[in-house]
Copies of this chain bind each other. A is one copy, B any other.
Amino acid sequence: MESIHELLGYKNIKIVQNSEMFCFSLDSILLADFVNPKIGCKKIIDLGCGNAPIPLFLSLKTDAEITGVEIQKEVFELAVKSVRLNGLEAQIKIINSDIKDIYLKTGANVFDIVISNPPYFKVHPESNINKNKYLTIARHEVMINLEGVVLEAKKLLKNGGSFYLVHRTERLTETVNLLTENNFGIRRMRFVYPKRENNALLFLLEAGANLKDDVKVESPLYVYEEGEYSQEVKEIFNFKKNEYH
C-alpha cells in the first residue's frame, strides 16, 4: 500500500513509501547524516537510491545537484513522486537505470561525492533470497556486487572526491581491500551498534579517490539506548543536530 511519510524535521520533507515494495531504512538516514558535503561541492550521485531518502535528506544540507540512480521501475517511480511532492525537481534528478556503466549517461570523473547503501548480502546457491522481488534486488547482490559498486564509484568521482558507503561489518575486510586495490584512501569510519553492549552491525565509511589513506574512526553510534532510539538517532531524524543552511 502506498503512503506518505514525513521523513525528517524542520523542512517538512515527505517521502512516498509502499509497504509491499519498498520502505527506506534507518541505514540510509544514518549514511545521509554521515555525508559531509564540503563548500564548493557541486555534484552528488546516489547509486541505488531506492525511494530517494538519501537525496531528500541531503537537500537539507547542500545546494549541490543530486542524482539518484534506481534500477527498479516501480521503485524509481516512488522516488520521482517523492521529489515532486517536495518540489525538489530543480535539485534532484532520478534516473531509472542500472548502476553499471552509469557514467556513460552522467559523465565520468564529474562527481564530488558518490554515495551508496548497496545490497548487503552475497548470493549463494543456498541464499535465503527474499520472495519479494523488490527487496531481493535491494538487499542481495543479484544485479551488482560490492566490487561493482566500488568500480563505478571510481569512474564517477573527481580526483580527491569522496565515496560514502554503509555496509555490514562482516564485509569490512573485503571493503577495505577493494578500496585499497582501487586506490581509495579511507578518511573516516564510524561503527553502528544496535545497543552499547552489542557487536557493531554496520559501518559508515568515507574514502577519497586517489588519496592517501588517513583513517579516523569516529565515536560509536548507538541506535537504541534504554529501550528507545538513542538521543543521537532522534536528533538525526528530527534533523536538529547541526545548523545546516
Residues of A within 8 A of B (CB): 169-170, 172-174, 176-177, 179-180, 185-186, 189, 191, 193, 196-200, 203, 213-220
Contacts and interface: CB of A to CB of B under 8 A. Distances in A.
Can you tell how many copies of this chain the complex includes? 2
A177 B176 contact: yes
B217 A169 contact: yes
B176 A213 contact: no
A188 to B, nearest CB: 9
B199 A220 contact: no
Contacts of A203: 217
A151 to B, nearest CB: 18
Mostly, the A contact residues are mixed
Given A176-B176, A177-B177, A180-B177, A170 B219 contact: no
Given A169-B215, A214-B170, A215-B169, A193 B220 contact: yes
Nearest to A196: B219
**Which among A172, A197, A203, A214 has the greatest number of chain B C-beta atoms within 10 A?**
A172
B213 A169 contact: no
Contacts of A213: 173-174
Contacts of A172: 176, 186, 189, 215, 217
Closest 9 CB pairs of A and B: A200-B217, A176-B176, A220-B220, A173-B213, A169-B217, A172-B215, A199-B216, A177-B180, A173-B186
A178 B109 CA distance: 30
Contact of A191 (B170, B173, B180, B220): B220
Contacts of A174: 213
Contacts of A197: 219
A218 B189 CA distance: 15
Contacts of A199: 216-219
A50 to B, nearest CB: 25
11 contacts: A169-B217, A170-B215, A172-B215, A173-B176, A173-B213, A176-B177, A177-B177, A199-B217, A199-B219, A200-B218, A203-B217
A176 B181 CA distance: 12
A28 to B, nearest CB: 20
